[in-house]
Chains A and B, each alone.
Chain A
C-alpha cells in the first residue's frame, strides 16, 4: 500500500483520507500500543490536527499516519510510569482471541520493532514510507523489521501450539 501525496483542499478530502485509512490506522495503532483507548486518542488527535491544518498539509494520508504514530509513541513514557507505580491500564475491551494473541506477542517487542512490523506486515507499507512515518532512516527500519520478525515468529508459533 503506497501513500500517495494528495493535496487536502476540503473537508471532503480529509474525510476521504479517513474513510480509506481510518479503520486500518486505528487497528495499526492498537497493535502498536496494545491499548484501544490510546489508539483512539492518537487517531482522534491526528484527525483533529489534520482538519485544523487544512491546506497546509499536502501528503495528508502520510501526515495522518505519521502524526498518529508519533502521538501514540509520545504516550509511552507516561504509561510506563503509571505501570511502574502500580496503577496500570484498567480499560477492558472486547477483542477476538487470535488478535489478542498477536497483540500480546507484539508487546514483547521493543516499541520500534513493534511499529515497523505493524506498518509493514499489517498496514503493508513499503520501507521508505515506514521510514517517513517513524522519522528514521530506511536502514534503521530494516534493522528493526528484521529483529521484530525474528522475535515474533517463534512467539506466534508458540501461541499457535497452545491448546485453545
Chain B
C-alpha cells in the first residue's frame, strides 16, 4: 500500500444514500449497494479511543530567565484540580502576571477572545476581544506572557478574493487594562510563534507572498519598527527562541518534505548581530515541540528526554518506568529544567517527573486523572503557584498542583 490516494479510491464504491441522491440533480443516479453489512457504531466507538490519543504536540515558553541552576524541587505529590471551562478549543497557554492566559479558537472564526484565568480561584477573570489568536491548532506557541504584557502572534483574515490566507500580525495585551495596547501588521502570511528579549521581538512567519516560505521578522523592542526579515531554507517551522546568544528556529530539514510531510529535526541558527542565517544543528530525533527557556533546549525521546546543547551535544535522561509512555508533555520550569508529564503504566494515571537543569531526576509522583486530561494539547508551568496547566482539546484547562511532601 504505497499510495494513500489509491487506497482512498475504494470510497468511490460506497453507495450514496437515496436521501442524498434525491437532493442531487437528475444526472446523478444512485449506485447499487453491496451485501456486506456492519454496524457503523463500531467505527464511532473507535473515535473514543482516538480521542484518548489526541495529545500530540506541545510546547512551553518561558522567555528570558536568568542563567544558573537552582536546587532540585524535592519530593512532591500531584493533585488534580477541577477542569475550568474556557469555551472553544484551547490551543495555547502561557502563565504570567499572576494569570493563566488561554488562546481558545472558536470553530466559526472571529471574533476571537483571549481568556484570562485566575489561577487561584479558577474563575474567568476576563475575556479579551483580540484581532487574532495563535494559529496552531494543537501544541501551543504564538503566546508569551511577560511583565509588560501578553504578546500574541497569528493572522488576520483577508477579505474573500483578496488572495490567500491572511496577514501576519503581532500584538500586545496590557494586563492592567486587558486591552490591545500595541499591534504591528507584518504583511502576507501567518504568525506562527514569537520570542521576545532585550534585542527585539522575533516573530516566526509562514510567508504567503511573493512565495511561500519561512521567515523570522525582527522588530525593535522599543519602537516595534521592523529591523530585519530573515528567510530560512525550509518550508515548515514551529518555534523560535533564543539560546546561547543566538536566535534559533525549530523546523523541517531543507528538502525533507515528502509530499507536504513534516520532519522537524533541525534547528536553524540566526546571528542577532548580523541578522543572518548561520546554519543548522541536527536534533537527535524529529519532534514537533521543544521545551525551551533561554537557557536550555529539551526534547522528548522514546525512553525519556534529551537536553540539547548549542554545539549539538546531547544529554539523554532515561526515565525508568516511562519507556512505553514517554512523554505526553514537557514544559520548561524556567530555570533550565523541565517538567515531564506522561501516562502511567496503570490506566487513568499520569506520572509527573522533574528533571533539573543538571539533567538529574529530582522529583517524581503520579496521580489519577480524568480521561480528558490524557488528551491534553498544550501545557504551561506556573512557577508562582507550582501548577502545571494542561489544555484539553474540547473546551477546558486543568491544573496539576505540585505539592511539596
Q: Contact between A122 and B43 (Cβ–Cβ < 8 Å)?
A: no
Cross-interface CB contact of A142 among B23, B36, B260, cutoff 8 Å:
B260
Q: Contact between A34 and B206 (Cβ–Cβ < 8 Å)?
A: no
Expressed in whole angstroms, the Cα–Cα distance for A145 and B262 within the complex equals 9
- Per-residue CB contact flags for chain B residues 1-12 toward chain A (1 = under 8 Å, else 0) read 100110111111
- Per-residue CB contact flags for chain A residues 65-105 toward chain B (1 = under 8 Å, else 0) read 00000100110110110011000111111111111101110
- In the complex, which residue of chain B has the Cβ closest to the Cβ of A29? B20
Q: Which residues of B contact A153 (CB under 8 A)?
A: 1, 4
Q: Which residues of A contact B107 (CB under 8 A)?
A: 70, 73-74, 135
Q: Contact between A96 and B10 (Cβ–Cβ < 8 Å)?
A: yes
Cross-interface CB contact of B43 among A107, A131, A138, A145, cutoff 8 Å:
A107
Q: Which residues of A contact B35 (CB under 8 A)?
A: 94
Q: Which residues of A contact B261 (CB under 8 A)?
A: 142, 145-146, 149
Which of under 10, 10 to 19, 20 to 34, or 35 or more describes the interface residues of B? 35 or more
Q: Contact between A23 and B28 (Cβ–Cβ < 8 Å)?
A: yes
Q: Which residues of A contact B394 (CB under 8 A)?
A: 77
Q: How far is the CB of B129 from chain A (nearest CB, A)?
A: 18
Chain A, range 135-159, C-beta contacts under 8 Å to B: 135-140, 142-147, 149, 152-153, 156-157
Q: Is B222 an interface residue (CB 8 A)?
A: no
Name the residue in A99, A104, A139, A147 with the highest tally of chain B Cβ atoms < 10 Å from its Cβ.
A139
Expressed in whole angstroms, the Cα–Cα distance for A74 and B262 within the complex equals 28
Q: Contact between B43 and A18 (Cβ–Cβ < 8 Å)?
A: no
Name the prevailing secondary structure of the A interface residues: helix
Q: Contact between B136 and A122 (Cβ–Cβ < 8 Å)?
A: no
Q: Is B342 an interface residue (CB 8 A)?
A: no
Q: Is B176 an interface residue (CB 8 A)?
A: no
Chain B, range 103-132, C-beta contacts under 8 Å to A: 105, 107-109
Q: Contact between A104 and B46 (Cβ–Cβ < 8 Å)?
A: yes
Q: Contact between B8 and A36 (Cβ–Cβ < 8 Å)?
A: no
Q: Which residues of A contact B347 (CB under 8 A)?
A: none
Q: Contact between A128 and B164 (Cβ–Cβ < 8 Å)?
A: yes
- Per-residue CB contact flags for chain B residues 30-72 toward chain A (1 = under 8 Å, else 0) read 0001111111111111111111011011000000000000000
Contact count A vs B, C-beta below 8 Å: 216
Q: How far is the CB of A164 from chain B (nearest CB, A)?
A: 11
Q: Contact between A122 and B8 (Cβ–Cβ < 8 Å)?
A: yes
Which of under 10, 10 to 19, 20 to 34, or 35 or more describes the interface residues of A? 35 or more
Expressed in whole angstroms, the Cα–Cα distance for A22 and B20 within the complex equals 8
Q: Contact between A27 and B12 (Cβ–Cβ < 8 Å)?
A: yes
Q: How far is the CB of B376 from chain A (nearest CB, A)?
A: 13
Q: How far is the CB of A140 from chain B (nearest CB, A)?
A: 5
- In the complex, which residue of chain B has the Cβ closest to the Cβ of A161? B1
Expressed in whole angstroms, the Cα–Cα distance for A5 and B160 within the complex equals 10
Q: How far is the CB of B8 from chain A (nearest CB, A)?
A: 4
Q: Contact between B161 and A89 (Cβ–Cβ < 8 Å)?
A: no
Q: Contact between A35 and B40 (Cβ–Cβ < 8 Å)?
A: yes
Q: How far is the CB of A67 from chain B (nearest CB, A)?
A: 11
Cross-interface CB contact of A136 among B11, B39, B137, B139, cutoff 8 Å:
B137
Q: Contact between B137 and A110 (Cβ–Cβ < 8 Å)?
A: no
Q: Which residues of A contact B136 (CB under 8 A)?
A: 137, 139-140, 143
Q: Which residues of B contact A47 (CB under 8 A)?
A: 23
Cross-interface CB contact of A26 among B1, B9, B10, B20, cutoff 8 Å:
B20
Q: How far is the CB of B190 from chain A (nearest CB, A)?
A: 5
- Per-residue CB contact flags for chain B residues 194-237 toward chain A (1 = under 8 Å, else 0) read 00000000000010000000000000000000000000000010
Q: Contact between B164 and A100 (Cβ–Cβ < 8 Å)?
A: no
Cross-interface CB contact of A91 among B33, B41, B262, cutoff 8 Å:
B41
Expressed in whole angstroms, the Cα–Cα distance for A34 and B44 within the complex equals 6
Contact status of A107 and B34, CB under 8 A, knowing A19-B28, A92-B40: no
30 A-B pairs with CB atoms under 8 Å apart are A18-B23, A19-B27, A26-B16, A28-B11, A30-B11, A33-B44, A44-B19, A58-B161, A73-B107, A89-B39, A89-B44, A92-B37, A92-B39, A94-B37, A95-B15, A102-B7, A102-B8, A107-B44, A108-B46, A108-B49, A110-B53, A112-B137, A137-B165, A139-B136, A139-B206, A140-B136, A143-B139, A146-B261, A146-B262, A156-B4
Beyond known contacts A110-B54, A111-B47, A137-B206: 10 more, CB 8 A cutoff: A5-B161, A19-B25, A22-B23, A28-B11, A30-B14, A31-B11, A59-B160, A80-B47, A103-B43, A135-B109
